């Protein structure tokens, strides 16, 4: 894993480049921590590295460029926006690695600018030429013949021109509102009669495809180029002097006054409306945009040089997903299908029809025979998690279903099963987390659909996000009531379950069933539940129990029985937990960390973290 070390407060290195053995034992020393934001940028660098890897299929490389760009958009909308909020509020609290918010913003810009340039080089110098050789071309208007331009001109007149709205900027026309992540053209025109120059903004419509196809070929022209080539239609009688593309990113982080909100759903909806008007946190401008125009945009949008990125080539590369979706199997990953878990599949002697699934009674019988651990995407989500919920909705012996929903898909079979269960008279409870970032609107829609069907919907806890993925099914059986549970690490989303590596446990152990009952009572009612039989629940007990387990390895470590801590995490930024891992390393315990994204722990410091190994894997699966 590449370190986020840029020399800021890092431990001293020897002539060989290695960290010198630390004499300091203060485990809160900022030199022992990597910056959260810079560590995330290194994660996104690993995403970009997939786009440069010749071993990755070509259209998947293009998709990684789109993912890299989309990740950056979200990073600015939330993380950079948060730092700017701190500065605006006069807060000067330092991060664990000792940086002020202002210093972090400067470090982000310094780290990111060459990365953005590398992404542009990868797209224009590597991927687009390779795509052209494979029959997919992104071409410039200047490279087209008369016949090709004629077809595009008709498309412009019939499909594009009616949607466009040129917006002048002068004393009678104030600078227009520019929506988040929208692509625009900054246009300078000259009045042919007076010679005066004027500025106007033309928005590239998001309702139209970003890449306009040429007839009978797999060649495409970016929509902004088509508009730029026809600006004379928008400004008749004017001379178009020049035009350049720019793009704006706004602060979209929701700030809820949850304690004062009478209705959390309404409060989230109000914040979503305000989100559209958040402060600008990034201005991307084409590298050929005149400095005078850049300066005017900076002044009108209230951004400085640190927030301004001059981009060589295409802006808004997240739209490349449109091209990556081409149905050309030889340019994609070889398809593969998850397999049903053996315990949740028909036995070979049953000879079921192709694609047959277990009946509802068979699903619960399989779980009664013992716990089932599934690992997605290798074990089928459809025949395990999805089937567990649909079976519960169908089974007449099931009395109640309780489930947390953090993120799900637009056509979620999970939500549809919960609706069917409620319509069949079962007691159904769904905790829909309205504060799931960038899924707030979708979750509001699901919450309303569930409520209309008679599901008891809870919107989460004040001051906390409910990130757990749990389901509880209460079933009447011959020997009494039995509780079946699913506890997992992945969202109840069949689409992401094919891309993310997650684990899930099915069980009907009484202790787990009782724990899930207590947890849902805590989530839906009034309770102060601090202890559970087997579950570890944050913020009540999760960190404390992990710390206890680390300490146990330290206490029992010996030459004959060496200790080992192995953790697989999405991110690691909790300073007390990092300090616990440093203590384990100093005690001689080996620590293996598999961390997909952010890592605030600095490995390889002699005497502190030299027994800690950090691995990050980014590839086809996340």
- The domain that holds 513 is classified in CATH as 3.30.870.10
Q: With cut-offs at 50, 70 and 90, classify the pLDDT of residue 437.
A: low
Q: At which of 524, 555, 585 does a domain end? A: 524
**Structural domain contains residue 102:** no
**Structural domain contains residue 83:** no
Q: At which of 314, 329, 344 does a domain end? A: 329
User: Coil, helix or strand for 318?
Assistant: helix
**Structural domain contains residue 40:** no
Q: Is the pLDDT of residue 297 over 90?
A: yes
- Estimate to the nearest angstrom the gap between the alpha carbon of 157 and the chain centroid: 38
In the numeric block, which tokens belong to residue 115? Answer: 């990365």
d(CA 248, CA 178): 7
The predicted pLDDT at position 188 comes to 94
The predicted pLDDT at position 259 comes to 45
Do 376 and 313 belong together in one domain?
no
Do 557 and 496 belong together in one domain?
no
Do 371 and 405 belong together in one domain?
yes
Q: Tell me the sheet residues that pair with 184.
A: 203, 246
| Residue found by looking up tokens 């007076």 in the block | 194
Which run of H or E residues covers position 292? helix 291-301
Which run of H or E residues covers position 273? helix 264-275
In the numeric block, which tokens belong to residue 504? Answer: 């899930």
Do 249 and 367 belong together in one domain?
no
In the numeric block, which tokens belong to residue 584? Answer: 């384990």
Angle at 140 between CA 136 and CA 142, to 5 degrees: 140
- The 10s digit of each residue's pLDDT in 181-235 is 999 999 999 998 888 999 999 999 999 999 999 976 789 999 999 999 999 999 9
Do 493 and 590 belong together in one domain?
no
The predicted pLDDT at position 274 comes to 63
d(CA 366, CA 343): 6
The predicted pLDDT at position 294 comes to 96
Average pLDDT on 363-370 reads 96
**Which domain covers residue 557, as residue numbers?**
1-34+541-622
Quote the mean pLDDT of the chain.
88
**Structural domain contains residue 109:** no
Task: Count CB-CB contacts under 10 A for residue 497.
Answer: 25
**Structural domain contains residue 49:** no
Q: Which of 612, 501, 598 is nearest to 46 (CA)?
A: 598
Q: With cut-offs at 50, 70 and 90, classify the pLDDT of residue 333.
A: very high
Q: Would you call 456 a catalytic residue per the annotation?
A: no
Name the most confidently modeled range: 114-128, 211-225, 262-276, 407-421.
114-128
- Number of domains within the chain: 3
Q: With cut-offs at 50, 70 and 90, classify the pLDDT of residue 451.
A: confident
Do 516 and 549 belong together in one domain?
no
Average pLDDT on 298-323 reads 94
Q: Is the pLDDT of residue 23 over 60?
A: no
d(CA 413, CA 390): 8
d(CA 417, CA 392): 8
User: Which of 326, 456, 467, 557 is labelled catalytic?
Assistant: 467
- The 10s digit of each residue's pLDDT in 477-534 is 999 999 999 999 998 888 888 888 999 999 999 999 999 999 999 888 877 778 899 9
Do 545 and 416 belong together in one domain?
no
In the numeric block, which tokens belong to residue 133? Answer: 């050789």
């Amino acid at each position: 894993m590449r370190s986020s070390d840029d020399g800021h407060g890092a431990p001293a290195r020897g002539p060989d480049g290695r960290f010198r053995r630390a004499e300091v034992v203060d485990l809160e020393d900022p030199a022992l921590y990597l910056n959260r934001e810079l560590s995330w940028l290194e994660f996104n660098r690993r995403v970009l590295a997939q786009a440069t890897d010749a071993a990755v299929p070509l259209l998947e490389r293009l998709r990684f460029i789109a993912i890299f760009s989309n990740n950056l958009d979200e990073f600015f909308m939330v993380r950079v926006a948060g730092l700017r909020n701190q500065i605006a509020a006069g807060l000067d609290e330092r991060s664990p690695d000792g940086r002020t918010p202002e210093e972090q913003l400067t470090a982000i810009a310094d780290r990111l600018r060459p990365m953005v340039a590398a992404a542009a080089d990868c797209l224009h110098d590597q991927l687009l030429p390779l795509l052209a050789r494979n029959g997919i071309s992104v071409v410039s208007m200047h490279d087209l013949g008369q016949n090709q331009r004629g077809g595009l001109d008709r498309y412009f007149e019939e499909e594009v021109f009616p949607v466009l709205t040129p917006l002048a900027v002068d004393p009678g026309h104030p600078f227009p509102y520019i929506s988040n992540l929208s692509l625009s053209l900054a246009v300078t025109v000259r009045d042919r009669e007076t010679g005066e120059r004027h500025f106007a903004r033309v928005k590239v419509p998001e309702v139209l495809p970003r890449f306009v196809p040429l007839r009978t070929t797999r060649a495409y022209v970016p929509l902004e180029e088509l508009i730029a080539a026809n600006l004379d239609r928008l400004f008749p009688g004017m001379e178009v002097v020049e035009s350049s593309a720019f793009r704006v990113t706004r602060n979209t982080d929701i700030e809820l006054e949850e304690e004062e909100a009478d209705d959390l759903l309404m409060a989230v909806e109000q914040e979503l409306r305000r989100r559209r008007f958040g402060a600008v946190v990034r201005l991307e401008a084409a590298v050929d945009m005149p400095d005078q125009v850049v300066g005017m945009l900076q002044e009108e949008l209230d951004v400085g040089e640190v927030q301004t990125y001059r981009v060589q080539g295409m802006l808004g590369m997240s739209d490349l997903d449109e091209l990556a979706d081409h149905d050309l199997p030889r340019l994609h990953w070889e398809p593969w299908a998850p397999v049903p878990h053996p315990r949740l599949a028909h036995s070979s002697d049953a000879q079921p029809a192709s694609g047959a699934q277990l009946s509802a009674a068979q699903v619960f019988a399989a779980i009664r025979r013992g716990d089932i651990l599934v690992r997605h995407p290798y074990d089928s989500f459809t025949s395990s998690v999805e089937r567990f919920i649909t079976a519960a909705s169908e089974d007449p012996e099931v009395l109640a279903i309780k489930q947390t929903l953090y993120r799900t898909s637009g056509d979620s079979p999970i939500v549809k099963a919960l609706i069917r269960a409620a319509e069949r008279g079962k007691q159904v409870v769904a905790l829909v987390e309205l504060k799931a970032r960038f899924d707030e609107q979708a979750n509001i829609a699901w919450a309303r659909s569930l409520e209309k069907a008679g599901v008891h919907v809870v919107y989460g806890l004040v001051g906390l996000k409910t990130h757990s993925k749990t389901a509880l099914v209460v079933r009447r059986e011959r020997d009494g009531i039995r509780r079946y549970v699913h506890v997992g690490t992945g969202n109840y989303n069949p689409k992401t379950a094919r891309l993310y590596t997650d684990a899930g446990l099915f069980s009907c152990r009484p202790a787990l069933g009782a724990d899930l009952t207590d947890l849902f009572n805590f989530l839906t009612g009034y309770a102060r539940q601090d202890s559970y039989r087997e579950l570890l629940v944050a913020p009540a007990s999760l960190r404390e129990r992990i710390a206890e387990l680390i300490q146990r390895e330290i206490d029992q470590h010996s030459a004959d029985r060496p200790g080992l801590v192995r953790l697989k995490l999405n991110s690691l930024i909790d300073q007390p937990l990092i300090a616990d891992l440093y203590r384990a390393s100093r005690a001689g315990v080996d620590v293996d960390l598999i961390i997909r994204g952010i890592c605030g722990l600095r490995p390889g410091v002699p005497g502190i973290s030299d027994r800690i190994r950090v691995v990050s894997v980014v590839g086809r699966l996340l």
